[in-house]
Amino acid sequence: MKIVITMSWVLCSFLIFTLTNSCQKSGQDEPEQEEEQEEENTFIDNRDGKQYKWIKIGTQVWMAENLAYLPSVNKFSDESMTEPCYYVYGYDGNSTTEAKSAENYKTYGVLYNWPAAAVACPAGWHLPADAEWKVLEMYLGMSQEEADKIGYRGTDEGSQLAGDSPLWNTGSLKNNAAFGKSGFMGLPAGFFYNGITTGLGRDCKWWSDEISSTRALDRSLYYSGALAGRGDASLKKYGYSVRCIRN
């Protein structure tokens, strides 16, 4: 009888140890799961109920898709340096319902002139300043010297910022091994320029900082190169995409 009790006690002790160790191991895994959930998530724009993905890159939190807020829509004949204008690639009308049903709107979002872009981001988010774009680019490997230049700079940061390969025309951007690495998911949404939309499948441009009463800085990607662009010649009447960064 004594031997039976001893063996039972050993068996119970083993089971308790196993269950305790299992719980401790499970508890150790939880922070990793929480950290993974923090890397990419979603939020709702309360103005229109649209849901967006966001992603944490380094110390910054960026939208992982283009803004699609569309309070009104302009025809391509409408251009302004001072009044907000909103365009949807390929849609030349004034109905927001029709514009929102267009595939280009669903895929690429809205093209904003500078006055619209400056106030387009939802509460808790804002249009990224030039310095904030540089933080992103340098986190992806660009040097400070390169980041300060105008034009296409760096090495493969443009490819890292791009995403959704089938939407891009064949070229060095999507053929680079770093394509899509950052999770930023830049798409070739094209842009609005002098009364037309152009560049779908080849270009994307995002607004950055104001330079003067007529011009603003931009960021861009182009299908034939892996570099990331920084431009200073964009007129405020042009229509570019918007990526918001969290406050």
CA distance 116 to 108: 17
Q: Tens of pLDDT along 2-52?
A: 444 444 443 434 434 444 444 333 334 444 443 444 345 999 999 999 999
Which pLDDT score, from 0 to 100, does residue 83 have? 98
> Percentages helix, strand, coil for the chain, rounded to the nearest 5?
30, 30, 40
pLDDT of residue 168: 98
Supply 197's token pair: 């939309």
The model's pTM: 0.83
pLDDT in tens, 185-230: 999 999 999 999 999 999 999 999 999 999 999 999 999 999 999 9
Q: What is the pLDDT of residues 79-137, one digit of tens each?
A: 999 999 999 999 999 999 999 999 999 999 999 999 999 999 999 999 999 999 999 99
The counts of H helices and E strands in the chain are 8, 13
Backbone angles phi, psi at 89, to 5 degrees: -55, 125
The answer to whether 155 and 227 have CB atoms below 8 angstroms apart is yes
Determine the pLDDT at residue 16: 40
What is the reported pLDDT for 196?
96
pLDDT tens per residue across span 148-189: 999 999 999 999 999 999 999 999 999 999 999 999 999 999
